[in-house]
A and B are shown apart, each in its own frame.
Chain A
């Protein structure tokens, strides 16, 4: 794959986000960016390693609450808060990872959801003294202005989130093209054969698990800083499927899928809840329809066509299908 194409897709995707910023309200654009970071972990797990996780809110909450604790009780620098969120994500997924990645796919999905519910009740009831239960932690005014990019100002926060998202995409793109990406796919397709080649399944899976869930925790940390408060609602069981739905909407395992999915999902939720007021109906049946029509999702179905279009435009003849 040529370096030009390598970058062109990324630049195109982020140009789209930049355009969104101009034409759409700022909260929507920020929501889309954070949501797509949130989804990327889930998409990577499902598309590359074959793990479907209904428990992503658990890791989102780990990141968000770690950041919130720091900003509420200890300090006021949002950058440090985000770093603490990332660290908590790594520690959290290292703690549960060794147990979870041993499980068969169906059990993995179910147990992950259970984990999200545990954390929900933990934050809502058990640790209510520290988390203030359903009221949540409010620290918007605690955060101090920071030099270079002032994260307390939404317009500058957007630029920061944009850069972070871009960096993460480059990282995942790199992963995809590396030997590690190939190993992940191999775990998904046939673990026995991978073992014969001398790779340790457990390590490949655990690494994927930690990478994906740390990304999700980072999204949580971003939410925490952007919103200025965190409540247990973030890990509510009713929202457990959000990242899975977005992943499927966009197409699992594709890199631009999460962006496309996040735009469509956030937009759909906004529009539908304004116009009809019953977004479950639309989201649910859209999901069923997409699954029956073909699991590739919106981006997954568009990608081969766009590739052909690009090839024709650049006058290149290519036999590559997809990537």
Chain B
């Protein structure tokens, strides 16, 4: 039987991990939902976000400004990539965007290596405090991460449901052509979605930085988890992304308490099981482009 203290800390650990997964994959999911592209380059913005957080917090001693910097740089990088690359490939099949964005991811890792080198970098925890929850010591920073993810989800929900641009995005998830037919400039909409996606990926990287070592391959290491989250949730579904992020976070965290190798294996097993029943994930729509 697992010690209840371990279980509580494992649960919080899983929550914070799920929060990072959510921030990291929401961009992937939005880009697929509206533009029908698989944007693996989001994981590059995640890496860049972490490095910006590292550099800024080293220079001025404040991680939060670094995280903000990561959001901005992530968003700008996404803007540049959308303008230079994705704009030319929206019309192509999904495999096409997948390969191209993988190229951007790999090439970007090269750029990161060029600027920051190969050595893994530690980032200081901005909040050292611990609080007691149900008699268990919990790092406050992890709770802050969960809180930020909650705020982001709330913000996205408000944006999509209460603003007209958000409504246009929801309409676009159903049918982009008809949104354009109404007279709405969808290409501006696409750019906006890319900037939001890149910014959130940067945020995920910045928040994750103090919890791990920052290194050039970090995007590739979470690649599989990002895939898993969007597959389980269903490509293009924001609610699905939220649910599966926290599911995967808990499975990784609680799984590792039971038997360490399970941390990496269990989510994949669950994913395969889910796909057996729902071939397009929990909340994925069965339709595809055209």
Complex CA–CA separation, A245 to B223 (angstroms): 17
With contacts A125-B264, A285-B107 taken as known, whether A244 is within 8 angstroms of B99 at the C-beta atoms is yes
Whether B268 is near chain A, meaning CB under 8 Å from some CB there, is yes
Whether A11 is near chain B, meaning CB under 8 Å from some CB there, is no
Q: Which of A104, A126, A287 contacts B288 (CB 8 A)?
A: A104
Q: Collect the chain A residues with CB atoms within 8 Å of residue B228's CB.
A: 114
Query: Which residue of B is nearest A281, CB measured?
Result: B110
Q: Is B260 touching A109 in the complex (CB atoms < 8 A)?
A: no
For residues 62 through 95 of chain B, which have their beta carbon under 8 Å from a beta carbon of chain A?
85, 88-89, 93-95
Whether A117 is near chain B, meaning CB under 8 Å from some CB there, is yes
Q: Is B110 touching A280 in the complex (CB atoms < 8 A)?
A: yes
Whether A197 is near chain B, meaning CB under 8 Å from some CB there, is no
B contact face: mostly helix, strand, loop, or mixed: helix
Q: Is B275 touching A111 in the complex (CB atoms < 8 A)?
A: yes
Q: Is B89 touching A283 in the complex (CB atoms < 8 A)?
A: no
With contacts A114-B227, A291-B89 taken as known, whether A106 is within 8 angstroms of B264 at the C-beta atoms is no
Q: Is B103 touching A291 in the complex (CB atoms < 8 A)?
A: yes
Q: Which of A111, A282, A295 contacts B96 (CB 8 A)?
A: A295
Q: What is the number of contacts between chain A and chain B, taking CB atoms within 8 Å?
A: 134
In this complex, which of A114, A248, A282 has the most chain B Cβ atoms within 10 angstroms of its Cβ?
A: A114
Q: Collect the chain B residues with CB atoms within 8 Å of residue A115's CB.
A: 268
Query: Which residue of B is nearest A103, CB measured?
Result: B279
CB distance from A55 to the nearest CB of B (A): 10
Query: Which residue of A is nearest B220, CB measured?
Result: A238
With contacts A107-B231, A292-B100 taken as known, whether A284 is within 8 angstroms of B107 at the C-beta atoms is yes
Q: Collect the chain A residues with CB atoms within 8 Å of residue B109's CB.
A: 280, 284
Q: Is A107 touching B107 in the complex (CB atoms < 8 A)?
A: no
Whether A99 is near chain B, meaning CB under 8 Å from some CB there, is yes
Whether A259 is near chain B, meaning CB under 8 Å from some CB there, is no
With contacts A106-B98, A107-B279, A287-B100 taken as known, whether A125 is within 8 angstroms of B113 at the C-beta atoms is no
Complex CA–CA separation, A109 to B103 (angstroms): 15
Whether B139 is near chain A, meaning CB under 8 Å from some CB there, is no
Q: Which of A106, A282, A287, A292 contacts B94 (CB 8 A)?
A: A106
Q: Collect the chain A residues with CB atoms within 8 Å of residue B221's CB.
A: 237-238
Q: Is B95 touching A109 in the complex (CB atoms < 8 A)?
A: yes
In this complex, which of A54, A113, A284, A286 has the most chain B Cβ atoms within 10 angstroms of its Cβ?
A: A284
Complex CA–CA separation, A287 to B110 (angstroms): 13
Q: Is A248 touching B99 in the complex (CB atoms < 8 A)?
A: yes
Complex CA–CA separation, A34 to B119 (angstroms): 32
Q: Which of B95, B106, B235 contacts A46 (CB 8 A)?
A: B95
Whether B114 is near chain A, meaning CB under 8 Å from some CB there, is yes
CB distance from A4 to the nearest CB of B (A): 35
Complex CA–CA separation, A99 to B279 (angstroms): 9
Complex CA–CA separation, A121 to B98 (angstroms): 24
Whether B20 is near chain A, meaning CB under 8 Å from some CB there, is no
Q: Is B95 touching A288 in the complex (CB atoms < 8 A)?
A: no
Whether B243 is near chain A, meaning CB under 8 Å from some CB there, is no
For residues 231 through 272 of chain B, which have their beta carbon under 8 Å from a beta carbon of chain A?
231, 235, 260-261, 264-265, 268-269, 271-272
Q: Collect the chain B residues with CB atoms within 8 Å of residue A113's CB.
A: 223-224, 227
Query: Which residue of B is nearest A116, CB measured?
Result: B224
With contacts A99-B275, A103-B279, A291-B100 taken as known, whether A114 is within 8 angstroms of B110 at the C-beta atoms is no
Whether B22 is near chain A, meaning CB under 8 Å from some CB there, is no
Q: Collect the chain A residues with CB atoms within 8 Å of residue B85's CB.
A: 288, 292
CB distance from B9 to the nearest CB of A (A): 22
Q: Is A237 touching B110 in the complex (CB atoms < 8 A)?
A: no
Complex CA–CA separation, A103 to B98 (angstroms): 16
Query: Which residue of A is nearest B262, CB measured?
Result: A126
Whether A110 is near chain B, meaning CB under 8 Å from some CB there, is yes
With contacts A109-B98, A111-B275 taken as known, whether A281 is within 8 angstroms of B107 at the C-beta atoms is yes
Q: Collect the chain A residues with CB atoms within 8 Å of residue B96's CB.
A: 291, 295
Q: Is B95 touching A105 in the complex (CB atoms < 8 A)?
A: yes
Whether B108 is near chain A, meaning CB under 8 Å from some CB there, is yes
Complex CA–CA separation, A106 to B281 (angstroms): 12
Q: Is A114 touching B224 in the complex (CB atoms < 8 A)?
A: yes
Whether B55 is near chain A, meaning CB under 8 Å from some CB there, is no
Whether B59 is near chain A, meaning CB under 8 Å from some CB there, is no
Complex CA–CA separation, A237 to B261 (angstroms): 17
Complex CA–CA separation, A282 to B107 (angstroms): 7
Query: Which residue of A is nearest B104, CB measured?
Result: A288
Query: Which residue of A is nearest B93, CB measured?
Result: A105
Q: Is A241 touching B106 in the complex (CB atoms < 8 A)?
A: yes
Q: Collect the chain A residues with CB atoms within 8 Å of residue B2's CB.
A: none
Q: Is B89 touching A292 in the complex (CB atoms < 8 A)?
A: yes
Complex CA–CA separation, A214 to B110 (angstroms): 33
Q: A107-B281, A113-B227 are known contacts; what are 7 more A-B pairs with Cβ within 8 Å?
A: A54-B98, A106-B235, A118-B269, A122-B265, A238-B217, A244-B99, A245-B103
A-B contact pairs, 25 of them (CB 8 A): A46-B95, A54-B102, A99-B276, A103-B275, A106-B38, A106-B98, A106-B235, A113-B223, A114-B271, A114-B272, A118-B265, A237-B220, A238-B217, A238-B220, A248-B99, A278-B114, A279-B110, A281-B113, A284-B109, A284-B110, A285-B110, A286-B103, A287-B103, A288-B85, A288-B107
The 5 closest A-B pairs by CB, nearest first: A284-B107, A281-B110, A287-B103, A284-B106, A280-B110
